[in-house]
Structures are given as C-alpha cells and as structure tokens.
C-alpha cells in the first residue's frame, strides 16, 4: 500500500519525506505512542519503526518512557517528540548514545570465535573417558520368594489390613 502511494506521489511530482521524518512528524502531530501504534498508522513494519524510534531517541529528537502493559504484562516504550523540537531537523547522535555499549552482532561473535581456536570448541574434551557402569542393584526381598511363599504373605497381609466387621 505504501509503495502504491509513494509511486502515485512521485508520478505527480511530490517527493515523499524520509522515513525518520515521517515518524517524527506523526509523533509531533498526534502525541505519545508506542512503536506498534506508529507502525500501524504509517502502514510500515513494526521492527523498522521501532529501530527508527531508537535512532531518533539516540539523536535526542524524541523521548521515551517505559510502562508496564496491563493486559500483557510486558514493558512497552512510549515515544513523544522532545519539547525543544519545534520543527524537524536531523540532529547528530548524542555522546551518551555513542558511549552506551551496544550488543555485538552475530557476525562479529562468529569472527571472534574463529579467531580464538580451541575456545568454545564443544568436541569431546568435556566427556568422561569411559561411561561408568551402573552399580549392581541388590535384589528386592519379593524377588526372592517363590509363588507359595508370596501367596502365604498375601494372605497374612490381607488379614492384617482387612477392617474388622462391626
């Protein structure tokens, strides 16, 4: 749907603003929302909108607050335009955002593992040299009785545990 709108606008000669500007403008016009609400309103993928909102927050163009969703119990981030921003201007990334440690990508983790041979090698080094045998089990007392002895035991126990008629 967005591509047909974008195509129609370009045919007429109207250039669509960048995605981050469209998201910022939506928040400016409509107030505080979470990433899913913005994605539905702009008919964009939720993960793209969430990523873009995080980048706008790193640039101090939007602020976010966390609240517990009462229905699902998950923590939800609500974004709003920073009060100092009156019109859209792409700001540089803040020093605090640059200093914040980022999660390493899967590619960089894989490269680090290849660079250190022997590290994280599952192999067979963690296995014991031989599988220990199960200890011999002592035979149960009932296994040592023949049929006659077992039946005699049954009758004796039946007498002991049968309630006395009143």
d(CA 28, CA 83): 10
* Domain range 2-111, CATH architecture: Orthogonal Bundle (1.10)
d(CA 65, CA 48): 19
**Cβ neighbours of 52 (radius 10 Å):** 21
- Strand order of the sheet with strand 62-68? 33-34, 75-81, 62-68
pLDDT tens track of the chain, all 166 residues?
556 777 887 889 888 888 999 999 999 999 999 999 999 999 899 999 999 999 999 999 999 999 988 888 888 999 999 988 899 998 999 888 888 887 777 777 777 766 655 555 566 666 667 767 788 888 888 888 899 999 999 999 998 888 877 6
Pairing of strands 62-68, 75-81: antiparallel
Q: Full-prediction pTM beyond 0.95?
A: no
SS3 68: strand
Cα–Cα separations (whole angstroms), residue 41 to 59, 63, 104, 136: 23, 19, 32, 70
Could you tell me the two tokens for 163? 């309630």
Q: What are the φ and ψ backbone dihedral angles of 59, each rounded to 5 degrees? A: -90, 0
Sequence spans of domains, the chain: 2-111
Residue 1: which H helix or E strand, with range? none
């Amino acid at each position: 749907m967005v591509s047909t709108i974008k195509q129609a606008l370009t045919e007429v000669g109207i250039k669509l603003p960048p995605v981050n500007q469209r998201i910022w403008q939506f928040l400016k016009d409509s107030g505080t929302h979470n990433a899913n609400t913005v994605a539905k309103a702009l008919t964009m993928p939720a993960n793209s909108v969430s990523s873009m909102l995080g980048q706008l927050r790193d640039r101090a163009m939007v602020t976010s607050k966390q609240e517990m969703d009462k229905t699902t119990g998950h923590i939800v981030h609500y974004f709003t335009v920073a009060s100092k921003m009156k019109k859209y201007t792409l700001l540089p990334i803040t020093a605090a955002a640059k200093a914040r440690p980022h999660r390493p990508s899967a590619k960089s983790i894989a490269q680090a593992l290849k660079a250190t041979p022997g590290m994280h090698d599952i192999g067979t080094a963690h296995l014991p040299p031989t599988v220990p045998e199960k200890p011999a089990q002592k035979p149960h007392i009932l296994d040592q009785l023949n049929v006659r002895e077992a039946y005699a035991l049954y009758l004796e126990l039946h007498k002991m545990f049968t309630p006395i008629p009143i």
